[in-house]
Amino acid sequence: MMRCILLLSCCLIGLLLALNPVAAATPDTSIAGSAGSAANQEQEKLKFEQNKLALLKDQLQIERRKVTRDALKDWSEIVQAAVTAISILIVGWWSYRRFGWAQERYPNIEFTADIDLAGAHQDAMIVELIAYIENKGKVQHKMTQFTFSLDGLFEEDPVNVAEKWGGQVDFPRAIARGSFLPSTMNYFFVDPGTKAKYSWVARVPIETRFLLLHCGFRYLKRHDTGHTAERSIKIPDRLQLNSI
């Protein structure tokens, strides 16, 4: 009995499948759909990996460009430092050549002396002793020991020469000794392109016929170098006549 029922059921199922082939094909379609979904997932995964690889590649290029910029910046700073150092060396050499070796800091000083006869009064003459210092160089100069000596030759004095003056005429009368600098000053300076005047007023005996002014100075902190200047004049006869 059971065997007949099972056989009948199988026949009915077979008949239904024969009448509805679409239903019979459904399991195959489902299997194909599952296979297509797996393929799509693999494609999506592959596409994601490709996008990730492209992103990493772009990031690597950005880092490479950054490293290149940093390297160029470092080299630029090195080159700039080298150029600065070379420029300093060139300027130092040029300054030494002009200021040291060529001694631009020394002369270009014009130093002259003069005697100005103000006039005679009673038994003396008033005389202004003048020293001019003109700085024709490009640096400031500081000087010290700015001294002078004024000597004279009277009417009754013979005209002799002296070995201490290198065989020049000797002015035996010491009239005045001093300094053009006030006692409160240890040094003076002359700026580039300026001409300075220094004076000292002396009393000269009326019987003096000739005067010799000798003056000089030393450069500050270079006492072994300096300049000297001399000036000699004849006292006009009218000064003696006016004093009588």
Instruction: Locate the domains of the chain by residue range.
Output: 55-102, 109-243
Question: Under CATH, to which class is 109-243 assigned?
Answer: mainly beta
AA identity, residue 74: D
The average pLDDT across 100-108 equals: 57
**Where is pLDDT greater, at 8 or 139?**
139
Q: What is the model's pLDDT at position 14?
A: 58
Q: Compute the distance between CA of residue 76 and CA of residue 175 in angstroms, rounded to an integer.
A: 73
Asked if the model's pLDDT at residue 95 lies above 70, the reply is no
The average pLDDT across 38-61 equals: 82
**Where is pLDDT greater, at 151 or 107?**
151
**Where is pLDDT greater, at 21 or 226?**
226
pLDDT in tens, 119-152: 999 889 999 999 999 998 888 888 899 999 999 9
Banded model confidence at residue 97, pLDDT cuts 50, 70, 90: low
> 0.75 exceeded by the pTM?
no
Asked if the model's pLDDT at residue 17 lies above 60, the reply is no
Q: Compute the distance between CA of residue 86 and CA of residue 64 in angstroms, rounded to an integer.
A: 33
Asked if the model's pLDDT at residue 209 lies above 90, the reply is yes
In Å, how far are 155, 183, 190 from 93, measured between CA atoms?
60, 41, 26
Q: Compute the distance between CA of residue 220 and CA of residue 138 in angstroms, rounded to an integer.
A: 17
